[in-house]
Structure 1
């Protein structure tokens, strides 16, 4: 187990005292940021859906027409002030979280604060409870605090490596987002419009939320500035700070509470606007080369707040300038900020190398098993697989008996049961084949990346396939099955090529691959949201169902591409099982034994992309299967891929099939998408896995 990499710019200790010669540079930085903010604000006020322009607003200074005044007060000023408050809140929150965790990629997004706050607000809306801004903000605070606490606990108190924090945060955010999406699907009428808001929208009808929450943001920001000196000491290290008289635990707890409060206030006002909390502090710290004083927290946090406003309002200005005023209503501002943050995260991943506790062979903790035991495990998995197939055919909105299935196979059932079973068997087959494909893809990805926490979704492949499929569903809804599979495959291959190409700098690095894949995944999600809300903002059910992973309405031709991909990939992966064993060890051993490393990696990851693309085209986006199935297989039969591959494929197929059956049965005739069930099942396992590796790291 390698030691964590030295802290990046986010953890650099601040200079002890500001030399007078540098004060002018600090003032210059603030002046430049303020000037940029004023310019963006002026442009922002002139944009909108009405014909009121800059000249009309200028006439208000001399008593202009009432129409311009009404537009300014009712629409543009609330939107501007909301962007101002949200930018300040997220800029301060991101700077505080990065400093207290000493992690340059910590933010309200990567710590799942936004996801927890979002779930709390959507839950109240689903049950028709309308709360004022302050009580709603309180609920958001509780949800965000619970999520952040879990993530920081799993990542060793927030002081672990960057990759570990990203994985813990993404898993927690995925689980919370799954619950949120389930609520949006089950309570579609009472939560209409919240899909777009869930990606961060500045649309406001009045100033009520701003007037109630702006004082909270202001007080929390001032308290963080007052704690700036303590954060300067904390940046020197826990031991040094303790020697200097700082209560480290109390300081860290106070800062985290204030950061979560700011994030919750921002989510309450405008929804979860992505990556502002990550980007603003990073941009400010990049000025450290010319203005070293930005590393002092009493300079850093106010400047990060201003930059946060520039990012939020600048994204809003760019969105409406390119797509028109109506786009500012239909398309969430958070889509633009997330795309910006994804690019920034890719740049950071290529710039910093992380060798944290996730850099280990995926079979490092696997037990040694005898051949008889392995044969027994495979036989049991096959029996469970068969049982899942049978249960899938029996259960659903209409329950049938095993005898009915036998009669249906013989063509002797009546019209009612024939209709039910004719519609059910493609769904069961799709779930089994997609689960097997995702498990096989996850096994190869973990071996190639030597990262036990990697899976196709976290490497951006799923996001790329989702973009291709949702684009075709939106712009060519009458397209056939082959076209849908082709679009998903093209998106997956493009995303795979992008991630692989960007991660190959100075050799393929496991942590860099995961971080860049996470960025591409987030960017892909933002693009999917943009496609949905810009084309049909009031019909989000189709996209939600697809993004949740559902077998609803599947037909035999839609299942065929997954079967073909498995028939191609299974023999190839089985033939290179020895190479996978060697790739999972290190880079040197395969080369010494004559393995062409880059070609083997490319083939394995290419097959993973093919399998994931066809699975997504058949059942939508299903997460965690490619993570859980390989891990469970290695725990059962050891780390050799000769044994892992068949067990992982059977477990993956069984998991998705049971999740689909459960989703079709528990609230029939309504249905829970299989992807949401697998996320809710897979998250506890992932949490346990992180906790186990955390305990192992502490023991060493």
Structure 2
């Protein structure tokens, strides 16, 4: 599985270099002599020593921060054995366990990130982008939800198995089809982000269904260093140390592995065994960190990436015997630095409720955006037609398929009106339509009809937006969420809910709309320098989405339980409580977008091919991309404002439409709208009936349905590539 990943050019000091063609390309150090002079070895030792000194300074500051004031003088007295009893109790019961947790998490995630980047040969590989953290979190929540209480070490084993399964899935799906020039980078991040999204949906479903059993796990899921005792660090510290030392023993093999699979095999390295061993140890480190502090985001991306950038200037740092310790040191600096900054900004008492993972995720997202802007786009990440499954060549048959989808949608909508916690008959619907229904039937249908229409309109809007995004980005694995739109909408809506718990639907929707627009402006502004190049646009969008998700988690955790449940439900996508007037924004967006996209259907066909064809035909590439993406943002924002965040619709529906009617957008757009409406309508109906009178948000069910389809898409594209 791992041996099929694209090989780098050979060289004795190969390392990852962002920019200059691709963020995932290895390049041998130019002009590196065979021997290292003592001065150069001294520079490496000085750099590592400087990192350790910085950790010591951060640790000292860290120990003085908290809800109870402890000065540097009191800290020194405690260290020398003459401190006050209260200060000693505060340090030993709270501050020291939190500091040790930060050290353990930093070492584990920094080291894991270095190894994952080496094995994947991709500077964007990390426990986050490989969905390791999401898989480990899901496994832990699943056991808690079903009331299975396990010891700490067993919990770490559960997290390890969940994270290992996620990493194997993402690496297996991302292997092959790289396309060069950033295509492999985008493919890896797309695969990891989508799998993480699916796992997060399953986790959220468990948190909602088993709220009592999983109390406190949502906040823990954002990553927090707060510890009630030193037991966690004491039990998992030896595990982290053993995995770290084992990776150091593999350092020489990892150096040779960077020369390429064939070269490594010639030199006697068992490539697959070495890769598998390294990944297993890296996942064990990540799982240990998740068990102690929850999934603290993006440390495993930012810390090793910073070290690899420094390696271009510090001779000897490219070797894994130095790179692995340097990654661990940088990981500790990032984690402790984030925690110190958190308590400096919010204060010792307020910072207790804010997870450290929020700060590290925002920092990592910014770092991802910086790397994305240095990425030289190579002209897309895949043709829009790459994943076509074969369609009938007869135009009449394709149009009949569209008509059939329309008829099926009407039938599904009819069934949706009859099904729910209260089952109705077709005669009840007829009586309601003619004004002859009883009060109970009238009440049920008066509340159910807006929900069905909301599902249909929102699904159609998201699917059409997804078709546009996939054509413009020339990537059938892209979706509106990758533009940061849904994440921005979540920030805006949850911010309104936090400030005004009794805010009306219109206020929440307005907040979501403004958040979506703000996120789109940020993404477009950062991507504009490269003419909205596909790889850069997608990576920047993922970075903005990650930052938005961290901010949403912080806002939810900062509210009372009632508001947290309301915000969590909205973030999961739900049609509950919708009324007909509330559907006007998404209806207006669809009506206005329809003639615009109908007129631009040929431009979409041309943009889906390559960069050269539009230029030859006189289509202004950057301006057309911006205009069409703006339409997609408007549709997505209106849909999110109407029903909340619903994922995978913009991914699955357009791809299925192309599989049925071909690649011409004159047919793809209407078929996408119908399939998107069908998917959300079915998900909403199931959510209202499966556990009636309880309900599941439609967005969770679309993720559960869409994730396997996405996995199959990636697997099929890997084989055809």
1:48-67 pair list within 5 angstroms: 48-60=66-78, 61-67=80-86
Contact between 1:162 and 1:356, CA under 8 Å: does it hold in 2? no
Contact between 2:8 and 2:121, CA under 8 Å: does it hold in 1? no
Runs of at least 5 residues in structure 2 that lack an aligned partner in the other structure: 1-5, 10-14, 18-23
Residues 668-700 of structure 1: CA deviation (Å, up to 9, x unaligned): 111111111101111111111111111111xxx
For 1:68, the equivalent position in structure 2 comes to: 87
Residues 593-648 of structure 1: CA deviation (Å, up to 9, x unaligned): 23333332222111111111111111111111111111111111111111111111
Residues 145-167 of structure 1: CA deviation (Å, up to 9, x unaligned): 11111111101179881111011
CA 1:157–1:56 in structure 2 vs 1: closer, same or farther (change >3 Å)?
farther
For 1:8, the equivalent position in structure 2 comes to: 16
Contact between 2:41 and 2:315, CA under 8 Å: does it hold in 1? no
User: Hey, what's the Cα distance between the residues in 2 that align with 1:152 and 1:345?
Assistant: 19
Matching of residue 636 in structure 1 with residue 655 in structure 2: no
Contact between 2:131 and 2:193, CA under 8 Å: does it hold in 1? yes
Q: Compute the TM-score of the two structures, normalised by the length of structure 1.
A: 0.96
User: Hey, what's the Cα distance between the residues in 2 that align with 1:150 and 1:593?
Assistant: 41
Secondary structure, aligned partner of 1:44: helix
For 2:449, the equivalent position in structure 1 comes to: 425
Secondary structure, aligned partner of 1:8: strand
For 1:533, the equivalent position in structure 2 comes to: 557
What is the aligned-residue RMSD (CA, Å)? 1.9
For 2:626, the equivalent position in structure 1 comes to: 602
User: Hey, what's the Cα distance between the residues in 2 that align with 1:373 and 1:207?
Assistant: 67
Please identify, of 36-45 and 123-132, the stretch whose mean Cα deviation from structure 2 is larger. Answer: 123-132
Contact between 1:445 and 1:455, CA under 8 Å: does it hold in 2? yes
For 1:582, the equivalent position in structure 2 comes to: 606
For 2:494, the equivalent position in structure 1 comes to: 470
Contact between 1:140 and 1:267, CA under 8 Å: does it hold in 2? yes
For 1:255, the equivalent position in structure 2 comes to: 278
For 2:20, the equivalent position in structure 1 comes to: none
1:488-527 pair list within 5 angstroms: 488-527=512-551
How far apart are residue 101 of structure 1 and its match? 1.1
1:364-443 pair list within 5 angstroms: 365=388, 367=391, 369-443=393-467
Secondary structure, aligned partner of 1:293: coil
Residue from 247, 253, 261 that aligns with 1:238: 261
How far apart are residue 62 of structure 1 and its match? 4.7
Residue from 309, 312, 321 that aligns with 1:298: 321
Runs of at least 5 residues in structure 1 that lack an aligned partner in the other structure: none
Secondary structure, aligned partner of 2:65: coil
Residue from 71, 74, 91 that aligns with 2:110: 91
For 1:645, the equivalent position in structure 2 comes to: 669
Contact between 2:133 and 2:163, CA under 8 Å: does it hold in 1? yes
Contact between 1:590 and 1:596, CA under 8 Å: does it hold in 2? yes
For these two proteins, the number of residue pairs brought into alignment is 695
For 1:163, the equivalent position in structure 2 comes to: 186
How far apart are residue 414 of structure 1 and its match? 1.8
User: Hey, what's the Cα distance between the residues in 2 that align with 1:636 and 1:308?
Assistant: 48
Please identify, of 254-263 and 505-514, the stretch whose mean Cα deviation from structure 2 is larger. Answer: 505-514
Contact between 2:380 and 2:535, CA under 8 Å: does it hold in 1? no
How far apart are residue 128 of structure 1 and its match? 2.5
Matching of residue 694 in structure 1 with residue 702 in structure 2: no
Residue from 62, 65, 83 that aligns with 1:44: 62
Residue from 239, 263, 267 that aligns with 1:216: 239
Contact between 2:289 and 2:295, CA under 8 Å: does it hold in 1? yes
Residue from 21, 37, 62 that aligns with 1:19: 37
Contact between 2:501 and 2:563, CA under 8 Å: does it hold in 1? no
CA 1:226–1:18 in structure 2 vs 1: closer, same or farther (change >3 Å)?
farther
Residue from 178, 193, 199 that aligns with 1:176: 199
Matching of residue 457 in structure 1 with residue 481 in structure 2: yes
User: Hey, what's the Cα distance between the residues in 2 that align with 1:368 and 1:22?
Assistant: 65
Residues 116-167 of structure 1: CA deviation (Å, up to 9, x unaligned): 1101111111122222210000011111111111111101179881111011
Contact between 1:362 and 1:447, CA under 8 Å: does it hold in 2? no
Residues 170-201 of structure 1: CA deviation (Å, up to 9, x unaligned): 11111111111000000111212111110101
Secondary structure, aligned partner of 1:161: helix
How far apart are residue 229 of structure 1 and its match? 0.4
User: Hey, what's the Cα distance between the residues in 1 that align with 2:504 and 2:586?
Assistant: 15
Q: Compute the TM-score of the two structures, normalised by the length of structure 2.
A: 0.93
For 1:207, the equivalent position in structure 2 comes to: 230
CA 1:173–1:458 in structure 2 vs 1: closer, same or farther (change >3 Å)?
same
**4+ residue runs of structure 1 moved beyond 6 angstroms?**
3-7, 157-160
How far apart are residue 481 of structure 1 and its match? 3.8
